[in-house]
Structure formats: C-alpha cells, structure tokens
Chain A
Amino acid sequence: MPTILDLHSHSEASEDSRAPLEAYLNWIKLRRHERPVDGIVLTEHRQFNAGADYRALEDRFGLMVPKASEVETDYGHVLVFGVTGEMTRRFDFANVRLGAQELIDEVARMGGVAVPCHPGRPTVGLCEHYAAKPPLENVVAVEVLNGGSRKGEDDRSMQLVRTYGYRAIGGSDSHLVSLIALCATRFEADVRSLEDLVRELKEGRYEPVDFRPRRKPVPAAVPDEVRHNGG
C-alpha cells in the first residue's frame, strides 16, 4: 500500500520554528482531504533528540513521526535519515561546516541515508556548489520539491536529477503549522517504520508530490523522470 510522508519539517525544537508537533498533527487531521499524508519526518536543525518519544502522539493521530535531522555541510544542507548514536558521536550535528562527502559515505556505512535538501537554494544548496566543485559521489536522492523554495529553485533542483540521475523527494520544510505537508513524498511500498523509510529511500520507488493550492501561474507538474525513479 503506498505511503505518503512529508520528509522535511521543523518543530519548535528547531530554533526558527514555533510549531509544536501536536499542532502539526492536528492540522494534518483537519486538512486530510487536501494533504493526505501518513506521517511527517521531523528534521530538526543541527540536532538529533534521541530521547524524544512521539509514540503517544503517533497513536492518538494515527500518523507516523519518524525523527531525522537537517545538518549543514560544505555542499549545503543535508537531511540525515536513520540517525544513530554512532552517527552523532562521529559527527557534531551542531557544526555548520560538516564535510558532505564524508557525511554521505559514513551515514550510509552506519545504516542511514543522507539526502541533500533544497539543492536549488543559493549558498545552502548543491547546485551552486556543483558549479564550483566536483560533484559528490554516492548521492542517492535529492529534494526537488521543497515548500520553502522561491521561484526557480525547484527547477534548478530538477536539473540535478536530469544530469546525475538522482532519485527525487519532496518535503514541506515547514516552520509554521499551516505549512505542514504541503509537499511530500509518495512511496510505492508500505512504509511503517524508520527502517522501512531508510530502505525505501535507498532502494525503493518514490516520487515527490505537491499538495499546494494552485495559483496563477500554474507551476509545472512533476516531470515523468522523477516519477517512479527507482528500482
């Protein structure tokens, strides 16, 4: 059964967000018809709270809340899924200058997956870094649909997919309650756990999905090459 998850969001644990997790989940419940997600991944800035336990909220709302992180590297921001104690001992997530290649490779070796986010964004996205430095190796996927993107940024991200054959994810990058789950990722497989998520990101079939209300001008539909880009 397909699973739809918002893979990029920030709760009040991130210093620039005031959104409590419960408010996010309540908003999704209210807006289910517009944003039919099965859960959200919390990707807090520069930290990972191993002790945070959201099972009670998951049960109450019937939504998954896997935990991940958004860290800052020499190639821009990167989402880290499947964070372990070994990873947080190996890398100081608060460091705004982590080595991206090392991060990608070590996270993979430790059983997780690191996905560059908002690659089309100036300074903190891959595109600009690729213009000046060798491309990273072993990149599995990039985020081509980000709810916080400005005009043209997601189009630039799509170019990376076309050039390098990366898989593509979507996420809201929400820092406000009302923006949660406006962008997400649709997995063909049944994703019920963090382990499922990491496995599917590495090997599965998925595509970004856009739940934002259409405005004039109508944004381009997600191109075919990022649909089912896996397997």
Chain B
Amino acid sequence: MSITKFDAVNIGDTLGPQEIFLSKDQVRTYARTCGMDVPRFTDDEGARSEGLPGMITPGNMSMGLLATLIDGWAGPGGLRRLGTTFRGLVLPGRTIRLCGAVTQKDEAARTVELDVWLESDEGERLVVGTASVELK
C-alpha cells in the first residue's frame, strides 16, 4: 500500500472511490463486536417494528469505513479529525461507495483537509463529512 506524501498531494486529488458490497452479515458482525446487538442493526423484522424500512448500518460503522479509506490513503497516525453528518439511512445488502477529495492544503502544518462521503449505488450521499489529515 503506498502512503500519500504531503508534497505529492494537490487540491482536487481524490480518494477512492472504493466500492464495497455492504452485506447484512458484515453489519451484524460490526454491531455485535461493538456492543450494539440491537434489532435495528441486526434484524430486518426487528428494525421494521421500530418504524425503519429494514435493518440499518450504525453511524459509527459508516464513520469507521470512511476512516479506513482515509487511513489507507494517508497512512496510520495521519488522521487528526473526522466529522460526519448522517443524511440518510445506509441500508445493508447494497453496494456503497466511499469517496473523498482534497480541498485544502496547509503548508505550515503539513495537513490537508478532505471532503469525504459515503454514497449509495445511485449516487446519493448518505453520510458526508470532512477530515483533517497530517501527511509526511
């Protein structure tokens, strides 16, 4: 895996898109691993009884997926800040895309700002956010 160097980065550079099939099993595993073993994150029927269209992906998991995208691009230890807004439900059993773009560069601090987002297979941005990353 090649790590992005500060001097090689330009505003406008993109991360991903990384396309993954987010399976229900993967979401269940995440939920159970992280102490969120509740119906909305593990069971379609249970989620529907709460008024949801089916089981949903925890916001923390969406955040974790975006952080993994950034970490893979910047190298471990680079991620300084990640802020996300959950705009729409991320329903598992579908393909999603993890994306990012370099929007600002701070020469003095050797950091970059990123826009990051998780989009559905129809291109709808379900989770959006920004990140600050320190690069070597």
Contact present between A and B (CB < 8 A): yes
Cβ of A138: which chain B residues have Cβ within 8 Å of it?
A: none
Interface of B is mostly: strand
Q: What is the 8 Å Cβ interface bit string for chain A, positions 30-63, against chain B (1 contact, 0 not)?
A: 1100000000000000000000000000000000
Nearest A residue to B132 by beta-carbon distance? A18
Interface magnitude class on chain A: 10 to 19
Bound Cα distance from A30 to B11, whole angstroms = 8
B88 touches A23 (CB 8 A): no
Q: Is A92 an interface residue (CB 8 A)?
A: no
Which of A31, A150, A176, A215 contacts B130 (CB under 8 A)? Answer: A176
With an 8 Å Cβ cutoff, the count of chain B residues facing the other chain is 16
B11 touches A26 (CB 8 A): yes
Within 8 A of A (CB), among B80-136: 83, 85, 88, 101, 103-104, 113, 115, 117, 122-124, 128, 130
Q: What is the 8 Å Cβ interface bit string for chain A, positions 172-183, against chain B (1 contact, 0 not)?
A: 000111110000
B103 touches A215 (CB 8 A): no
Cβ of B83: which chain A residues have Cβ within 8 Å of it?
A: 18
Which of B12, B88, B128 contacts A176 (CB under 8 A)? Answer: B128
Bound Cα distance from A4 to B85, whole angstroms = 30
Cβ of A177: which chain B residues have Cβ within 8 Å of it?
A: 101, 103-104, 113, 115
Q: What is the 8 Å Cβ interface bit string for chain A, positions 124-151, against chain B (1 contact, 0 not)?
A: 0000000000000000000000000011
A150 touches B88 (CB 8 A): yes
Bound Cα distance from A18 to B116, whole angstroms = 12
Cβ of B134 to closest chain A Cβ, rounded Å: 17
Cβ of A16: which chain B residues have Cβ within 8 Å of it?
A: 85
B124 touches A151 (CB 8 A): yes
Cβ of B67 to closest chain A Cβ, rounded Å: 17
Cβ of A139 to closest chain B Cβ, rounded Å: 28
Cβ of B17 to closest chain A Cβ, rounded Å: 12
Bound Cα distance from A89 to B111, whole angstroms = 42
Which of B12, B123, B124 contacts A30 (CB under 8 A)? Answer: B12
Q: Which residues of B contact A (CB under 8 A)?
A: 11-12, 83, 85, 88, 101, 103-104, 113, 115, 117, 122-124, 128, 130
Q: Which residues of A contact B (CB under 8 A)?
A: 16, 18-20, 23, 26-27, 30-31, 150-151, 175-179, 215
A-B contacts besides A27-B12, A175-B128, 18 pairs, CB < 8 Å? A16-B85, A18-B113, A20-B104, A23-B104, A23-B113, A26-B11, A27-B11, A27-B103, A30-B11, A151-B122, A176-B103, A176-B130, A177-B101, A177-B113, A178-B101, A179-B115, A215-B122, A215-B123
